[in-house]
């Protein structure tokens, strides 16, 4: 019995958070053991790196090195062991966010990201990289996301970026989705919460993880 790995992606304000919690409940309701986690973060060390990345000014490569360092610790101490135990791993963001934010948003060379990805996500026994089995991409126009974020809690370093930054992030997600259409499910996040949830459920049921 091996577990499965679902990542949740999208620009800030696209509305992934409520759906992650709801999917965790639905899976638990059908007998799955769920590990609910996030990136950057998910371990004590990675949470410290997250605090730095979200608050301190730094260049794009430094940012990428820190998120991948966090990812390494998270993979080794949380994600891989949970998958071995046969659990459902739900992760709020993963490597697609590095391609979207550091690659798209900051303009970092995608080859650098690909190299880090190969180092950090290598699975020695199979010669493959650890990738999610399913990525739920909450796709929303940056202008709409900005409206939703306005008036919410105090913005972190990324949330304070202008709409033009999020346009580049959104383009980064779109490119990544086009490269791996099997793994990605695009959810139209402009819809009502219930309509987004219905689309999400369809994708998860198609995988056979929920009836």
Q: What is the maximum alpha-carbon separation in the chain?
A: 48
Among 73, 92, 117, 199, binds ligand TYD (CB under 6 A): 92
- Nearest approach in angstroms of CB 202 to ligand TYD is 24
Among 17, 18, 30, 202, binds ligand TYD (CB under 6 A): 17
Q: 55-89: string of b/e by CB count within 10 Å (b at 16+)? A: eeeeebeebbbbbbbbbbbbbeebbbebbeeebbb
- Nearest approach in angstroms of CB 170 to ligand TYD is 12
- Nearest approach in angstroms of CB 182 to ligand TYD is 21
Query: Could you say whether residue 52 binds ligand TYD (CB under 6 A)?
Result: no
Among 20, 49, 66, 67, binds ligand TYD (CB under 6 A): 67
* Contact string 135-174 vs ligand TYD (x = CB under 6 A): -----------------------x----------------
Query: Could you say whether residue 199 binds ligand TYD (CB under 6 A)?
Result: no
Nearest to 116 by CA among 62, 166, 78, 80: 62
CA 65 to chain centre: 17
- Which positions make up the binding site for ATP? 10-17
Nearer to ligand TYD, 101 or 184 (CB): 101
- Nearest approach in angstroms of CB 206 to ligand TYD is 25
Of the candidate spans 29-37, 95-103, 118-126, 173-181, the one that interacts with ligand TYD by CB under 6 A turns out to be: 95-103
Query: What's the rounded Cα separation, in Å, for the pair 187 and 45?
Result: 32
Nearer to ligand TYD, 102 or 121 (CB): 102
70 Cβ neighbours under 8 A, 6+ residues apart: 39, 40, 41, 42, 43, 45, 46, 49, 50, 53
Q: Give the other-Cβ count within 10 Å of 146's Cβ.
A: 18
Query: What's the rounded Cα separation, in Å, for the pair 195 and 177?
Result: 21
On whether the CB atoms of residues 98 and 113 are closer than 8 A, the answer is yes
Residues that bind ligand TYD (CB under 6 A): 12, 17, 39-40, 67, 92-93, 97-98, 101-102, 158
């Amino acid at each position: 019995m091996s577990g499965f790995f679902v990542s949740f992606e999208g620009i800030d304000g696209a509305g992934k958070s409520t759906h992650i919690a709801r999917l965790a409940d639905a899976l638990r309701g059908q007998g799955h053991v769920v590990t609910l986690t996030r990136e950057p973060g998910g371990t004590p060390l990675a949470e410290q790196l997250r605090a730095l990345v979200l608050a301190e000014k730094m260049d794009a490569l430094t940012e990428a090195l820190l998120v991948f360092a966090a990812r390494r610790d998270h993979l080794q101490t949380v994600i891989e062991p949970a998958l071995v135990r046969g659990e459902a791993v739900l992760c709020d963001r993963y490597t697609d966010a590095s391609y979207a934010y550091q690659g798209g948003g900051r303009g970092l060379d995608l080859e650098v990201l690909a190299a880090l990805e190969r180092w950090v996500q290598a699975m020695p026994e199979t010669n493959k990289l650890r990738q999610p089995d399913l990525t739920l991409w909450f796709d929303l126009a940056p202008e709409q996301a900005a409206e939703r974020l306005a008036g919410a809690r105090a913005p972190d370093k990324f949330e304070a970026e202008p709409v033009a930054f999020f346009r580049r992030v959104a383009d980064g997600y779109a490119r990544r989705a086009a490269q791996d259409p099997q793994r990605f499910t695009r959810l139209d996040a402009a819809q009502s919460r219930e309509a987004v949830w219905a689309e999400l459920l369809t994708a998860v049921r198609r995988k056979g993880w929920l009836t």
